Amino acid sequence: PSFYSALQPGRLFTKGNYSSPYYHHVEITGLEPNTTYYYQCVVRETLEDFDKLQEILSADMSQRDSEVVADIVNEEMQEDTTNENKSINTRQRRRLQRRKQRQFGLGHRFLAPPPYDSSQCGCPDPHKVRTFNTAPSTGQGPNKFAIIGDIGQFPHSEETIDHLRINHDDIDAIMLAGDLAYTGTDQRRWDTFMDFLDDYPLVENIPIQITPGNHDIDKHEHGRDIFQAFEKRFRMPQAHHARLGRFVGEDGSLNMDKPPFPLPYDFGNAYYSFKYGLAHWICLSSYSAIDEESKQYKWFKRELERVDRSVTPWLLVMFHTPLYNSFSVHQTDMQIIMGRIYIEPLLVEYKANLVFNGHIHAYLRTTNVVNSNVNATGPMHIVMGAGGRAAAAPFLNEDPEEWVVMRDASIYGYGLLELLNETHARWDWVHTGEELDHNVLFHHENVSLPVGGVDHVIVENQYFMSA
């Protein structure tokens, strides 16, 4: 069909002194592959401006069909208003109205604390007709993905997205490898992070897939809830509904450099999979249990067994903490140690092609590697945690390990992966900063940094190599 009508009431989310009744997740089924769809988010107060969408539809629909669609939406909106009035008592409505008046003034969106200030961009047009393209049929390519780690909402974050928008607007999807908003447990900063994304037209037209990072845990100093915003603000292709427990350790703030492990978070947005063209993507949670008896491990193994390389020849895996790390930070993280024990053997056994991580605020690309030994049939590991938050991580040793192809901790950037066909892909590490943006790491570190340059390589699908 050419038109879909979807009504979704907001879900109230309260955490500490923060409350938001404005979350909406709408699932639309039956879409055709590789097709452009138009949509408009119609607010009851602006329903009279529905003419714009009718103009778009008129190219494919008769005038009468278009009028019928508008009538249906009007009726559904009125019915929804009636039902809402019945379900919310007068005191609740007044409280919501007062909150709305506090959050919105003079027609501008409510601005949370720094780092991101969207006041220069103004509010998005509420009447705007937006578009998105559906994924190609499974097995069809080429496909192009942008992959960003530790993006945040800082000046370099804006440079990253703006550079991507200007130079590579032909991408099919954006993959965010954890540490999304850097809220510091201030939930209003999730609002500004979403404002940040909304201010770039590229982002509204293509899908964004996420994986949890340590700064997405969001445990308040005297609270027990974890990953609340990460789970409620996004909707990934879930294997099951989220099973999200509460933190049971000592009260107080968490050390975000070494958060407790594991945390009670399974399914939902924690780990999931999807197919896109030539790729079978698997996204894992670095902060959920991963031992052989865990839900995540059992799900991951079943998912690997389901991969059909004759249909999706590229097996791509993304999670936050890297298994291979040539930098001095995060060398003893329990998530990394457990990942080397339980995750890496499965990656090797099922011949995953590429593994993408963040966490280290730097760039690293390994050769194909198995258990720290160069091996042409093993996965290639890529760390790109310099998407916006920082680009500063001292090397562990001045001489790189045998499995290191390139490492850099001086310039911000993002990755581009283009799956050309069943056997070959192209990887590019794209720098967004200039030489003046290089960071001085630590004065006591006698380690020279490589000159910043674009890293690119043609990747051969090792699945089709003989062992």
Residues in a beta bridge with 419: 143, 425
Chain centroid offset of residue 254 CA: 23
- The verdict on whether omega for the bond into residue 126 sits within 30 degrees of 0, i.e. cis, is no
**In this predicted structure, what is the pLDDT of residue 12?**
55
For 224-254, b/e burial (b = at least 16 CB within 10 A) is ebbbbbbbbbbebeebeebebeebeeeeeeb
**In this predicted structure, what is the pLDDT of residue 449?**
38
* Structure tokens, 306: 């389901």
Q: What's the rounded Cα separation, in Å, for the pair 219 and 225?
A: 6
Chain centroid offset of residue 354 CA: 17
Phi, psi at 39, each rounded to 5° = -150, 155
At 324, the amino acid letter reads Y
First to last CA, the chain: 48
**In this predicted structure, what is the pLDDT of residue 44?**
55
Angle at 334 between CA 333 and CA 335, to 5 degrees: 90
* Contact yes or no for 349/206 (Cβ under 8 A): no
Q: pTM of the full predicted structure?
A: 0.81
pLDDT tens for each residue of the chain, 467 residues long: 344 455 555 555 666 666 665 677 888 888 999 999 988 776 655 444 455 555 555 554 444 444 544 454 455 445 444 444 444 455 444 444 443 343 333 333 333 345 677 666 666 676 778 889 999 999 999 999 999 999 999 989 999 999 999 988 899 999 999 999 999 888 889 988 988 998 888 888 899 999 999 999 998 888 899 999 999 999 999 999 999 999 988 888 888 888 999 999 999 999 999 999 999 999 999 999 999 999 999 999 999 999 999 999 999 999 999 999 999 999 999 999 999 999 999 999 999 999 999 999 999 999 999 999 999 999 999 999 999 998 889 999 989 999 999 999 888 999 999 999 999 999 999 998 654 333 333 333 333 333 334 799 999 999 998 65
Helix (H, G, I), strand (E, B) or coil at 45: helix
Residue identified by tokens 């140690």 is 337
What residues have CB less than 8 Å from 224, skipping those under 6 apart? 246, 247, 248
Q: Which helix (H) or strand (E) holds 175?
A: strand 173-176
**In this predicted structure, what is the pLDDT of residue 290?**
98
* Contact yes or no for 12/21 (Cβ under 8 A): yes
Task: List, in sequence order, the alpha helices (H) in 88-174.
Answer: 90-103, 155-167
At 9, the amino acid letter reads P
**Does residue 280 carry a catalytic annotation?**
no
Q: Which domains does the chain have, with CATH numbers?
A: 11-103 (no CATH), 138-464 (3.60.21.10)
Q: What's the rounded Cα separation, in Å, for the pair 155 and 293?
A: 43
Q: What's the rounded Cα separation, in Å, for the pair 305 and 289?
A: 20
Task: List, in sequence order, the alpha helices (H) in 325-399.
Answer: 334-338, 344-349
Helix (H, G, I), strand (E, B) or coil at 315: strand
Q: How far is CA 339 from CA 147, 284, 301, 326, 459, in A?
A: 21, 11, 14, 16, 24
Choosing from 280, 320, 330, 359, which is the catalytic residue? 330
Q: What's the rounded Cα separation, in Å, for the pair 372 and 384?
A: 19
User: Residue 25: is it exposed, middle or buried by C-beta count within 10 angstroms (0-12/13-18/19+)?
Assistant: exposed
* Contact yes or no for 211/318 (Cβ under 8 A): yes
